[in-house]
Amino acid sequence: MFDLRQFAAIAPDFYQKLHWHEQLESTNDEAHRLAEDGVEHATIVLAEHQTKGRGRRGAEWMSGSGDGLLFSVVLRPQLEQRYYGRIALAAGLGIALVLIDEFSIPARVKWPNDILISSKKCCGILVEASNDSVVLGVGLNVLNAPRGDEFIAINDVASEPVSREEILALVLAAIMGEVDRCAENFALQLNRIEAISYLSGKKITFLSGEQQHQGSVVGIGEDGSLLVRTNGRLRQFAQASDIQL
Ligand code: BTN
């Protein structure tokens, strides 16, 4: 079970803003509800277990009870809506840098919302905007990953056993810093994202809507979209799925 006392001792400011639940359908749903009630920026919802955790495009987010960190943050960003695509990238940068800098784990950010270790997914990010708030949901595999070759947990690769309480404190600080920065100076942040981007310079196939595309990744645009050269033409994709190398 997540140790709230330990978390309060490590991160008293975040603890003040934390809503902890043993079980929820989805922390994103609860965060939207709190946002409608008017809670402040950086309110956090954390659940030990989700019965209807969701990923992008209606996919299910699976995580065994207590295996990972399942949380959502209510944001009231100082950012025009057309730049909301930056938020998942900024959060991904923050989380990946915690893994790299604090645990020497070679994490990579895969546009638009995944963090990979050895080409396997250890974290997914789901950003949902409503009227005057944004909910940033994070599913991070810490102790165990769900079954399947495509997933990995931090504990699978860390040199020492990791503590969920410590990781949550570190990633929250990193996320909040990077989300602020994506509004202030995204160009600078983009260089840092590109440096650990899994797709940089790679040839990929992907779906945009129903249509399949093939091309080389050139970079990320100022609104957070993916820049791809396809058939000699530079194109910008705000949404894409099933991205394969
Ligand atoms: C993805 O990879 O498609 C995004 C997955 C996001 C999962 C997290 S778990 C906490 C929060 N609550 C949800 O229902 N989803 C996000």
Report residues of the chain scoring pLDDT below 50: none
pLDDT of residue 220: 96
Q: Tell me the DSSP string of 18-62.
A: EEEEEEES-HHHHHHHHHHTTPPTTEEEEEEEESS-B-GGG-B--
Nearest protein CA to atom 14 of ligand 1, as residue: 53
Compute, in angstroms, the gap from residue 161 CA to the centroid of ligand 1. 24
How far apart are the CA of 67 and the centre of ligand 1, in A?
Answer: 14
Number of H helices, E strands in the chain: 7, 12
Q: What's the pLDDT at 127?
A: 97
Nearest to 154 by CA among 42, 243, 166: 166
Ligand 1 atom nearest to CA at 123: 2
pLDDT confidence of residue 137:
98
pLDDT at 57 (0 to 100) = 85
Sign of the Cα pseudo-torsion (123, 192, 130, 36, in order): positive
**pLDDT value, residue 174:** 98
Q: Which atom of ligand 1 is nearest to the CA of 121?
A: 2
pLDDT digits (tens, 9 = 90+) for 67-91: 999 999 999 998 999 999 999 999 9
Mean pLDDT, the chain, rounded, equals 95
pLDDT digits (tens, 9 = 90+) for 29-70: 999 999 999 999 999 999 999 999 999 988 999 888 889 999
The per-residue pLDDT for 100 is 98
Specify the 3-state DSSP secondary structure of 146: coil
d(CA 28, CA 51): 12
Which residue ranges have their beta carbon within 6 Å of ligand 1? Answer: 26-28, 50, 53-56, 59, 61, 70-72, 113-114, 124-126, 137-139
Atom from ligand 1 closest to the CA of residue 71: 10
User: So what's the pLDDT on residue 132?
Assistant: 87
